[in-house]
Chain A
Amino acid sequence: MFREETELGKSLEHQKQLGELGGLSLKKRRLRGTCRLFVWHLRNTGVRQIPCRFVHLYHVANNRLITFQYFNFLKRMYVTRCNKDLGQRAKPKSNSIVPPFHELQQLDQEKKVVHKISPVSPVHQSWSETSSRNELREMKSAAETEDSVIPVGAESKEDRRWKEMKLRLDDLPGILARLSKIKLTALVISTTSAGFAMAPVPFELTCFLLASLGTGLASCAANSINQFFEVPFDSNMNRTKNRPLVRGQISPLLAVCFAACCGIPGIALLALGVNPLTGALGAFNIFLYTCCYTPLKRMSIANTWVGAVVGAIPPVMGWTAATGSLDAGALLLGGILYSWQFPHFNALSWGLREDYSRGGYCMMSVTHPGLCRRVALRHCLALIGLSTVAPVLNITTWTFPIISLPINLYISYLGFRFYRDADRSSSRKLFFCSLWHLPMLLLVMFTCKKSVLEKEDKGDLPGGSNEMAMEIRLP
């Protein structure tokens, strides 16, 4: 999931498609309802629930809602963006380019008055820019009558689009948020916390927070380096052309320094504050994303598989943070995320073929369209298989494959439609389905998680039987 935002990008949204939003908020309400349903289900099954686990469920549920909110926001972006890119234009792209800071041009007007004066004539060059506005207005009117000045007209509009490359401290948080793809980072953190939550150990808040923070910092670092490598390519693709490095809002040196300042503490936090295995996985993931996936995008379609591994590692990291070991459960969770990446990304890339072709990106949707759709369908079906393996590995109860079957079947159905129809509408349907499918699947997985206490009863956990014996002895 590290690499999704690369493709999806952040966009300046000008239109709000209220109809879509309405549909989205409806889905959000439905999700909340589903969440409440699961909580009720737990309450009524009479399962021995520790109170804090209940709170935990709400926390995780809220996590899901937050995640879904992000998905909603992203979905809103995608809908608008996809709509803009929908029409395949036969004529060349129009030359009119939306000025990057058009919403700030009103502010620029005021400053414009100040600076218009200075280079007008040698007499005025000695004026400081902090002259009072009245005097400036007088000078401006005087200046405009001089012959040496070209009337403002169209040129100044063009000139207004030139920006000084000076970093302002109050812009810095926004710039760094965009550089680190903060929304994608939040999604990565939520998959890590899903991995942590699914681990069959008692929940430790400190460890959870450290793991989340460390993963978040690692993700920020990886995303910054990715943007650092891709400046000219991002400039040429619609979704990514407003990134900070493309716009010159930040220098490449600062981007690299920021990546180092996030990555080194992040990995150190994971390695020392959590455990070395998690730290190693984090470092490996950064390497995989920046040094393998990013260059591979322009060389071979294998980049999609590498990118899927990149997306699969965060939940594995969450699991290893909780348990300290890489066991079957971690690999299963990683496998689910890995399989999910394909319908998600392949469906998305179907609508971006023109940009990929012109930008020189080697993607299946351009070079091997049949393979693209086959792989998407294959992995939708794999999700069903992986959901069935979960209870076998004692991670969830058998209710999980049963409850998750409808959503898995639905995404497989959409995958099949995409495979058969190979058109934009089926690709969009599959893509949007993948956006809600994943959080829902993880939520269902969590609610069907095999209770730690159940395992103790069966004597699966070491020392569990001793504790049980102790309890019986006490009056």
Chain B
Amino acid sequence: SAPAAPRQRRRGGGPGVRCWRGAEARAGLGFRPPAHSHSDWIGPPDKHSNLRPIIFYVPPDESALERRLREARQEAQASNQRFWARHNRAFRQEKEEFIYSRLKAKGLELRDESGQKATLNAEEMADFYKDFLSKNFKKHLQYNRDWYKHNFRITFLMGQVALVRALRRQNW
């Protein structure tokens, strides 16, 4: 794969500069795919959501169907990112609070003599896991529905785009 060139803080386009949309524009990620590349680029997992951001390539001759596909993918990416970033942050926070409250109840300090953070063992954490899962159950159900809808729609659009491209190539 072709890795990126050194980052340039050049904003805005210019003649001959390919256009990318997606995570970069919103999250202010510095990565810019090389100018010659005509494909999407996928990055390392986001540290909050663990999802990999994609920078979508916009071809100059993008058809309406292709645009719908790209926008569907962007929308799904944004929605997934929002959900998981918030969810994982909540998990971490509630876990810390739980550990803190349990340690306090046991009369222990948050850090032991060596300065290491005190931990609870798996069986003590089990209560927290059960509680967290049941609290977020409805949220997950809703997210599942949304995710399946996005996934099917994107795949269907991909199929349509691929079919149109194949037919176009046939006709030429």
Indicate, yes or no, whether A interacts with B: yes
B5 contacts A by Cβ under 8 Å: yes
Residues of the B chain whose Cβ atoms lie less than 8 Å from the Cβ of A92: 92, 96
Q: Looking across the interface, which residue of chain B has its beta carbon closest to that of A168?
A: B1
Decide if A159 touches B8 in the complex (CB within 8 Å).
Answer: no
Interface string of A90-126 (1 = CB under 8 A from B): 1111010101110000001001101111111000010
Q: Assess whether B6 is in contact with A152, with CB atoms less than 8 Å apart.
A: yes
Roughly how many angstroms separate A358 CA and B55 CA in the complex, as a whole number?
27
Return chain A residues, CB-CB under 8 Å to B44. 97, 99-100, 158, 161-162
For B47, the chain A residues whose CB sits under 8 A away are 95, 97
Bound: A93/B35 CA distance, A: 36
Does A253 reach chain B (CB closer than 8 Å)? yes
B21 within 8 A of A: no
A462 sits at the interface (CB 8 A): no
A437 CB within 8 Å of chain B: no
B-chain residues with CB within 8 Å of residue A316 when the two chains form the complex: none
Which B residue sits closest to A159, measured CB to CB?
B4
Give A425-462 as 1s and 0s: 1 = Cβ < 8 Å from B's Cβ atoms: 00000000000000000000000000000000000000
B52 within 8 Å of A (CB atoms): yes
For B50, list chain A residues within 8 Å (CB): 235-236, 241
User: Which one of A226-234, A321-329, A392-400 is at the interface?
Assistant: A226-234
Are the C-beta atoms of A162 and B16 separated by less than 8 Å? no
* B8 adjacent to A90 (CB under 8 Å): no
Tell me the complex Cα distance, A108–B3, Å: 7
B154 touches A252 (CB 8 A): yes
- B158 partner, pick from A100, A117, A251, beta carbons under 8 A: A251
Interface residues of B in 131-172 (CB under 8 A from A): 132-134, 136-137, 140-141, 143-144, 147-148, 151, 154-155, 158-159, 162
Quick one: given A152-B6, A162-B33, are A248 and B133 in contact (CB under 8 Å)?
no
Name the B residues within 8 Å of A116 (CB-CB): 5-6
Q: Which residues of B contact A112 (CB under 8 A)?
A: 3
Q: Contact mask A397-434 → B, CB, 8 Å, 1/0?
A: 00000000000000000000000001110000000000
Contact between chains at A248 and B123 (CB < 8 Å)? no
* Residues of B contacting A97 in the complex (Cβ-Cβ under 8 angstroms): 44-45, 47
> Are B41 and A165 in contact, with the CB atoms below 8 A?
yes
Closest to A89 in B: B119
List, in ascending order, chain B residues with CB within 8 A of A351's CB: 122
Categorize the interface residue count of chain B. 35 or more
B11 interface hit (Cβ, 8 Å): no
A25 CB contacts on chain B under 8 angstroms: none
Among A159, A247, A248, A353, the residue within 8 A (CB) of B126 is: A353
**Does B36 make an interface contact (CB < 8 A)?**
yes
At the interface, yes or no: B40 with Cβ under 8 Å from chain A? yes
Which of B91, B129, B132 counts the most A-chain CB atoms under 10 A from its CB? B129
Question: Does B58 sit at the interface, judged by CB under 8 A?
Answer: no
- B92 contacts A232, C-beta separation under 8 Å: no
Q: Whose C-beta in chain A lies nearest to the C-beta of B141?
A: A299
Interface residue? A148 (CB, 8 A): yes
Is the beta-carbon distance between B35 and A125 smaller than 8 angstroms?
Answer: yes
B80 within 8 A of A: yes
Q: Give CA–CA (A369, B126) in the complex, Å.
A: 9
Pair A119/B35 contact, Cβ less than 8 Å: yes
A88-B121, A164-B40 known, 14 other contacts, Cβ within 8 Å: A90-B118, A108-B1, A111-B3, A150-B7, A155-B30, A162-B55, A164-B39, A164-B41, A228-B151, A235-B45, A251-B158, A358-B87, A358-B132, A366-B133
9 pairs from A and B in contact (CB 8 Å cutoff): A87-B119, A90-B118, A97-B47, A115-B3, A118-B36, A149-B6, A162-B43, A164-B39, A252-B151
Residues of A near any B CB (own CB < 8 A) = 87-93, 95, 97, 99-101, 108, 111-112, 114-120, 125, 129, 148-152, 155-156, 158-166, 228-229, 231-232, 235-236, 241, 246-248, 251-253, 256, 295, 298-299, 351, 353-354, 356-358, 360, 362, 366-367, 369, 422-424
Which residues of B line the A interface, CB within 8 A? 1-9, 16, 30-37, 39-45, 47, 49-52, 54-55, 80, 84, 87-88, 91-92, 95-96, 99, 117-123, 125-126, 128-130, 132-134, 136-137, 140-141, 143-144, 147-148, 151, 154-155, 158-159, 162
